[in-house]
Amino acid sequence: MKKTLSLSVLFLLLIYGTVGPIARASSSPEFPCSVILEPVNKIANNAKGTALLYKVKLTPSFPRTSISIHALHLPDPSTIGNFDTYEGFAFIKNEISWRFKLHPTPELDGPTWAGRFDDITATMNSAEVQVRPSNSRTEKLGPAILSNDVNKCK
């Protein structure tokens, strides 16, 4: 009986030791958190950005997730194609996406692009945040310039 109890406890510890890390790896990040947006290719190897994610309560309803992006040293969008601005783009693959305008600030050596979106109700596990060029007239998005996974949020 004592041996069976010991084996049962050992079995439970092994199960928890295996399942615990898997469950934590697929969970949403703890808010507030930020993630560095890294260049996707050599077009913008000098560019960097950051995304700040946190819960915000702007209405009497439940809190929502806010994403704000701050990106600098991006190439002029027209050098990438028929684009004239940048947008923030966040998505959960095969589920939902959000896009929002990034606004340039007039600075030497190119603008800092920043913007935010405050109305996300979905859980953000497995989400990706990107900066992409955009055509303001056609609303066509270009390829990701900066990107990172929300699960890397700290």
Q: Residue 151: its pLDDT value, please?
A: 94
Q: Residue 34: its pLDDT value, please?
A: 97
Q: By the 8 A CB rule, do 83 and 133 touch?
A: yes
Q: Residue 1: its pLDDT value, please?
A: 54
Cis peptide before 32 (omega within 30 of 0): yes
Signed CA dihedral, 34, 135, 98, 120: sign only = positive
Return per-residue pLDDT of the chain as tens, 154 residues.
Answer: 555 545 454 444 444 454 444 444 456 678 999 999 999 998 898 999 999 999 999 888 889 999 999 999 999 999 999 999 999 999 999 999 999 999 999 898 899 999 999 989 898 889 999 999 999 999 999 999 999 999 999 9
Using a 10 angstrom Cβ sphere, with 0-12 exposed, 13-18 middle and 19 or more buried, the burial of residue 52 is middle
If we measure between CA atoms, which residue out of 23, 22, 21, 29 comes closest to residue 125?
29
Q: Residue 5: its pLDDT value, please?
A: 46
- Burial pattern 121-144, b for ≥16 Cβ within 10 A else e, equals eeebeebbbbbbbbbeeeeebbeb
Q: Delineate the domains of the chain, giving CATH numbers in brackets.
A: 29-152 (2.60.40)
Per-residue tokens: 150? 């929300």
Q: Residue 11: its pLDDT value, please?
A: 47
Q: Residue 108: its pLDDT value, please?
A: 87
Q: What is the number of other CB atoms lying within 10 angstroms of the CB of residue 154?
A: 8
Q: Residue 18: its pLDDT value, please?
A: 45
Tokens 């702007």, residue located: 58
If we measure between CA atoms, which residue out of 53, 116, 110, 111 comes closest to residue 88?
116
